[in-house]
Structure 1
Amino acid sequence: MATSVPHTAYSPRVAIITGAAQGIGRETALRLAEDGLDVALNDIPSKTKALQGLVDEIKAKGRNSIFIVGDVSSEEDVKNIVSTTAEKLGSVDVMVANAGIGAAAELLEMEVAEFDRVIAINVRGVMLSYKYAAEQMVKQGRGGRIIGASSVLGKQGGPGFTAYSASKFAVRGMTQAAAKELAPHAITVNAYAPGVIKTDMINHPQDNELGGPGGVLKWRLGLQPDAPDADPSVIASIVSYLVKPEAYFITGQAIPVTGGVYME
């Protein structure tokens, strides 16, 4: 077992956020910049314009920022995201493995190719982000924070979300295992498990027929149209706390942020 690193040695300086061009990733990037961190942004090549705009916003807040395009399901891309961040911003102290895709299909209609696509991005992408960020953090020798994206559907499966639920349950398992493995290095590993968050991912053409934004998702989850929903800033606030030095005693958790829709 590795020699334990003192928790007091941890002081966050640089964060990587995958899937940063919009929604929860974008809001988290801005929040961490406001907290005083430099931020490396990642998303797929089609999001380049949005990434550059976000870099400019972060620099306007007085923090340094870069963007690195890449697909988190590609091992070489994730290696490049981490190594480029360490080279250009000086370290990797926080990894927010936020990138993911939604998928709604019942089991009897599920195509194997679609299932594999969801697992590749939502599970392999998180694993690779955890692995290579942790490798860099261990090398640095001063601890770190790793945070992944689970979901309320990773706490309790819902009809029509076979692949998505499977992927988000998997993130919980990886988070717990990694938290135990990395504890000797003063690296905490946690996840957030959002409920209905108002991002593009929850939009559906039939939403207005079911009460407005997120209506179809709420219906699929067995919720009323007026069930709680929230802006991405509520997730950013959870990440903001988890990366702080005083959060060293929280690890292996998938924290529900659901407005009370799901309670543990």
Structure 2
Amino acid sequence: MAGVSNGRLSGRSCIVTGAAQGIGRAIGEALLEEGADVCFADINGRMAEDVSDANHERAARRGGKVTWAEVNVSERVQVRAMIAKAVAVFGKLDVKFNNAGINKPMNFLDVTEDNWRDIMDVNGLGVLIGMQEAAKQMISQGRGGKIINTASIASRQGFDNVAPYCASKWAVVSLTQSGARDLAKHNITVTGFGPGVVATEMWRQLDKDLMEIGASEREGQAIEEFSADILRGRVATPADITGTTTFLASKESDYMTGQIVMIDGGMTLV
């Protein structure tokens, strides 16, 4: 029944990209639990629709609405269409998570122009376009809003087999700071969060890819080596991330902007 939620995000309309699985799906479902309206957006439209369908009961129980969108975040026309769909369903846009990202490891000396462009288009340009189009919608509404970007431990130091990915996530930090400075006058905050090693399909695929290029010798080795310096002593689950992402989407973070919150178990101390 609509209106039953007393959650921290009751009445807030949110879009999460890269939301068909992993961290993105967990973010969206946590927002629904706090009463938000959520659009699950992903380049895989079928999976996004399935996630949306699976969350109708959750949304209804907590007083929110749910929808989905198919989107290539590096294509501005598609991003505009996604935002228009969410606004048509929810009536407005309050929070935009630019979470979609890709990685394809290559040894440093083997990195190609195509590898660089593919990763930077999604992880860098996609975040820029997502910020711009969300901000335009929020400005037109005149009520401010929140933009939240997904960075990474790779935004704090470079790793030899994923150089374009590291560069793209450093770009996310810069875009977050630039956006925060420019959009403050519109009452729009821009923040981000930096996950470490998270038990998701992306990390499982990364483990396989590193084996293929000879950077690791056996299944699980890459994750073990990346995880060795985690002060909390284990890899993260998506549920370890959502407490912070829900906070960033809520009014409790209203005085924060231009900041990246690391959620990496203590891998990077900055």
| Alignment deviations for residues 87-143 of structure 1 (CA, whole Å, 9 cap, x no partner) | 221111000000000121232110110110000000011111100001111111111
Contact 1:196 1:202 in 2 (8 A): yes
Which residue of 1 is the match for residue 246 of structure 2? 240
Regions of 4+ moved over 2 Å: 47-50, 204-210, 221-228
Contact 1:12 1:243 in 2 (8 A): no
Task: Tell me the distance in 1 between the aligned counterparts of 2:257 and 2:224.
Answer: 30
| Alignment deviations for residues 128-180 of structure 1 (CA, whole Å, 9 cap, x no partner) | 11000011111111111100111011011111111000000000000001011
Kindly provide the amino acid, as one letter, of the partner of residue 110 in structure 2: E
Contact 2:37 2:66 in 1 (8 A): yes
Query: CA RMSD for the aligned pairs?
Result: 2.1
Which residue of 1 is the match for residue 37 of structure 2? 38
Sequence identity (%): 32
Structure 2 residue 74 is matched with structure 1 residue 69: no
Kindly provide the amino acid, as one letter, of the partner of residue 251 in structure 1: T
Which residue of 1 is the match for residue 256 of structure 2? 250
Structure 2 residue 98 is matched with structure 1 residue 97: yes
Structure 2 residue 35 is matched with structure 1 residue 53: no
Q: TM-score, normalised by structure 2?
A: 0.86
> SS state of the match for residue 101, structure 1?
coil
In structure 2, relative to structure 1, the CA distance for the partners of 1:164 and 1:218 (3 Å cut) is: farther
Structure 2 residue 34 is matched with structure 1 residue 29: no
Shift of the alpha carbon at 1:42?
0.9
Where relative contact order (Cα < 8 A, 6+ residues apart) is larger, the structure is: 1
Which residue of 2 is the match for residue 262 of structure 1? 268
In structure 2, relative to structure 1, the CA distance for the partners of 1:12 and 1:238 (3 Å cut) is: farther
Kindly provide the amino acid, as one letter, of the partner of residue 201 in structure 2: D
Contact 2:45 2:71 in 1 (8 A): no
Structure 1 stretches lacking a partner, 5+ long: 1-9
Structure 2 residue 196 is matched with structure 1 residue 195: yes
Structure 2 stretches lacking a partner, 5+ long: 1-8
Which residue of 2 is the match for residue 87 of structure 1? 88
In structure 2, relative to structure 1, the CA distance for the partners of 1:93 and 1:158 (3 Å cut) is: same
Shift of the alpha carbon at 1:11?
7.8
Contact 1:199 1:232 in 2 (8 A): yes
Which residue of 2 is the match for residue 181 of structure 1? 182
Structure 2 residue 165 is matched with structure 1 residue 164: yes
Kindly provide the amino acid, as one letter, of the partner of residue 260 in structure 1: G
Task: Tell me the distance in 1 between the aligned counterparts of 2:150 and 2:19.
Answer: 12
Matched positions, count: 249
Q: TM-score, normalised by structure 1?
A: 0.88
Task: Tell me the distance in 2 between the aligned counterparts of 1:250 and 1:224.
Answer: 29
Which residue of 2 is the match for residue 5 of structure 1? none
